[in-house]
């Protein structure tokens, strides 16, 4: 068994809050730069702003976007770990987020009740997804997700007969309807299979792949490319102002499902993707 001091977890989560909010994922920045054509279009204006914004945020330690988001933590927790003072891992993770958002002047965007809408003032609770794995390490992936792109996301229970064409149509319609409001260029996570509760999480986890990475299943890799091409033909463009660069990537994650069902979810991510993984 490995003893981990609770303060180490709190401190590392705290630092991760600053790291992701000040530093745009390298894969996103690279993809944005690749799409700048120097043709004087509004598409170029927006993409150049995004690249310059990333530089300002990194150099001056200002949040990339004022919507510093809901914090999602995807945790792989080794079974051979003991925490100091019999601490509860969920509390430590929330403590780290709370401290990080306060210390680094990040916006607190969580309201305690959906109707009362009083701000918790701490940006917690975070969404914590825990997997127990072999070993004595904790892997933490943090994804801070803004409200605008989350609002453009969708879930649908399709029938098996609708197949890939049905899923494709559903994803394209979701982007067509609300993509312009979600700060394109977008990264699109698609979950297929599982059930009503799990498919949304599958779509969210799909967002964690790096842009440029290939799906390990060749059939899905082709489907990802097909969807990306179709989406970029919609003409929405950066910030919805027109152009060919509506999405930077589509990631599809399939799961086994019931004989009667074909659940599908699309989780839309804005260009300001704030994600990083650490191992403790």
Partner 1 sequence: MIKIDIENLLKNIENFKAGDRLELTGTIYTARDQAHKRISKLVELKKELPFDLKNAVVYYCGPCPKSPDRIIGSCGPTTSSRMDVFTPLMLDRGVKILIGKGNRSAEVYKSIKKNKAIYLAATGGAGALISKKVKKAELIAFEDLGPEAVYKLYVENFPLIVVIDCFGNNVFERN
Q: Which of 91, 111, 119 is nearest to 7 (CA)?
A: 91
User: CA-CA distance, 233 to 273, in Å (whole number)?
Assistant: 23
According to DSSP, the residues that pair with 29 across neighbouring strands are none
Closest CB to partner 1 among 137 and 178?
178
What ranges in the chain are assigned the alpha helix state H? 6-22, 26-34, 42-60, 89-103, 147-151, 163-178, 196-206, 218-232
C-alpha 212/C-alpha 250 separation (Å) is: 10
Of 242, 255, 261, 276, the one binding partner 1 (CB under 8 A) is 242
54's tokens: 């990333």
Give yes or no for residue 180 binding partner 1 (CB under 8 A): yes
Residue 136, CA distances (Å) to 2, 92, 216, 279, 280 in order: 6, 17, 27, 10, 9
User: Which CB, 84 or 151, lies closer to partner 1?
Assistant: 151
Contacts of partner 1 in 221-240 (CB under 8 A): 235, 237, 239-240
Show contacts with partner 1 in window 17-46 (CB under 8 A): 42, 45-46
5 belongs to the binding site for partner 1 (CB under 8 A): no
Q: Which residue in the set 52, 195, 217, 226 belongs to the binding site for partner 1 (CB under 8 A)?
A: 52
Query: What region does 40 belong to: left with phi over 0, alpha with psi -120 to 50, or beta?
Result: left
* Nearby residues of 277 by Cβ (< 8 Å), 6 or more positions away: 139, 140, 141, 142
Q: Which is nearer to partner 1, 57 or 83 (CB)?
A: 57
**Contact between residue 99 and residue 156 where contact means Cβ atoms under 8 Å apart:** no
Nearest to 183 by CA among 225, 105, 245, 123: 245
Under the criterion CB under 8 A, does residue 125 sit at the interface with partner 1?
no
Interaction of residue 15 with partner 1, rule CB under 8 A: no
Sign of CA dihedral 168, 170, 176, 182: negative
Task: Give the interface segment with partner 1, choosing from 143-151, 155-163, 210-218, 248-256 (CB under 8 A).
Answer: 143-151
Tell me the two tokens of residue 166: 């049905």
SS3 268: strand
Q: What's the number of CA atoms in the CB half-sphere (13 Å) around residue 109?
A: 15
Smallest separation, CB 55 to partner 1 (Å): 9
Among 56, 84, 159, 225, binds partner 1 (CB under 8 A): 56
Total residues contacting partner 1 (rule CB under 8 A)?
43
Encoded one letter per residue, x for contact with partner 1 by CB under 8 A and - for no contact, window 183-212 reads x-----------------------------
CB of 105 or CB of 132, closer to partner 1? 105
Question: Where in 60-89 is the site for partner 1 (CB under 8 A)?
Answer: 60, 62-68
- Does residue 131 bind partner 1 (CB under 8 A)? no
Residue 142 near partner 1 by CB under 8 A? no
Find the shortest distance in angstroms from Cβ 158 to partner 1. Answer: 27
Q: Considering beta carbons, is residue 166 or 242 the nearer one to partner 1? A: 242
Q: Which residues contact partner 1 by CB under 8 A?
A: 42, 45-46, 49-50, 52-53, 56-57, 60, 62-68, 105-109, 117, 119, 121, 146-148, 151, 180-183, 235, 237, 239-243, 270-272
């Amino acid at each position: 068994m490995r003893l981990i001091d609770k303060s180490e977890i709190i401190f590392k989560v705290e630092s991760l809050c600053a790291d992701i909010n000040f530093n745009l994922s390298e894969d996103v920045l690279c993809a944005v730069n690749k799409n700048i054509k120097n043709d004087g279009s509004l598409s170029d204006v927006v993409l150049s702003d995004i690249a310059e914004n990333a530089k300002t945020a990194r150099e001056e330690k200002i949040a990339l976007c004022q919507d510093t988001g809901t914090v999602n933590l995807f945790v792989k927790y080794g079974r051979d770990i003991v925490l100091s003072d019999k601490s509860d891992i969920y509390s430590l993770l929330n403590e780290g987020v709370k401290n990080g958002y306060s210390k680094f002047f990040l916006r607190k965007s969580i309201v305690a009740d959906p109707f009362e809408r009083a701000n918790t003032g701490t940006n917690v609770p975070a969404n914590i997804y825990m997997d127990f794995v072999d070993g004595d390490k904790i892997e933490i992936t943090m994804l801070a997700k803004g409200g605008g792109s989350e609002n453009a996301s969708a879930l649908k229970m399709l029938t098996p007969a609708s197949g890939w064409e049905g899923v494709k149509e559903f994803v394209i319609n979701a982007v067509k309807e609300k993509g312009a409001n979600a700060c394109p260029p977008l990264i699109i996570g698609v979950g297929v299979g599982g059930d009503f509760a799990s498919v949304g999480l599958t779509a969210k986890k799909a967002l964690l792949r790096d842009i440029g990475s290939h799906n390990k299943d060749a059939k899905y890799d082709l489907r990802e490319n097909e969807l990306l091409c179709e989406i970029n033909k919609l003409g929405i463009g950066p910030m919805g102002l027109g152009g060919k660069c509506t999405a930077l990537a589509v990631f599809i994650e399939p799961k086994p499902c019931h004989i009667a069902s074909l659940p599908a979810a699309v989780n839309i991510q804005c260009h300001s993707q704030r994600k990083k993984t650490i191992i403790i």
